[in-house]
Amino acid sequence: TQLLEQSPQFLSIQEGENLTVYCNSSSVFSSLQWYRQEPGEGPVLLVTVVTGGEVKKLKRLTFQFGDARKDSSLHITAAQPGDTGLYLCAGADSNYQLIWGAGTKLIIKP
């Protein structure tokens, strides 16, 4: 079974700080998605990356897919309380299964 490891598992920072969340695997994924989940709700898609080395920006969020398509990162600039949530990465493996990371719980304090 392929694994997607997310780090850190938990992060609590002050509003305005920058942060990076990582999603790593020893396996190659054909595509990778990032979702955000708020308490009491299901995950919501933020971005899908497909090409090795690809960088996508969503306002203050920057997503990068590793050159070898084994890892990805999510960087948030000037974090806001509204960024609080559980961030999940999910990769599509060679057996067309979507493999999920355990998530990074992010708290942004005002």
C-beta of 51: minimal distance to another protein in Å? 9
Q: Is 58 or 98 the residue whose CB approaches another protein more closely?
A: 98
**What's the CA gap between 4 and 8, in Å, rounded?**
13
The residues of the shown chain that bind another protein, judged by CB under 8 A, are 1, 6, 9, 30-31, 33, 35, 40-45, 48, 50, 88, 90, 92-94, 96-98, 100-103
Report in angstroms how near the CB of residue 15 gets to another protein at its nearest. 26
Contacts of 62 (CB under 8 A, 6+ apart): 55, 56, 74, 75, 76, 77
Nearer to another protein, 75 or 105 (CB): 105
- Rounded to a whole number of angstroms, the minimum distance from the CB of residue 97 to another protein is 7
| Residues 21, 63, 5, 39, Cα dihedral to 10° | 70
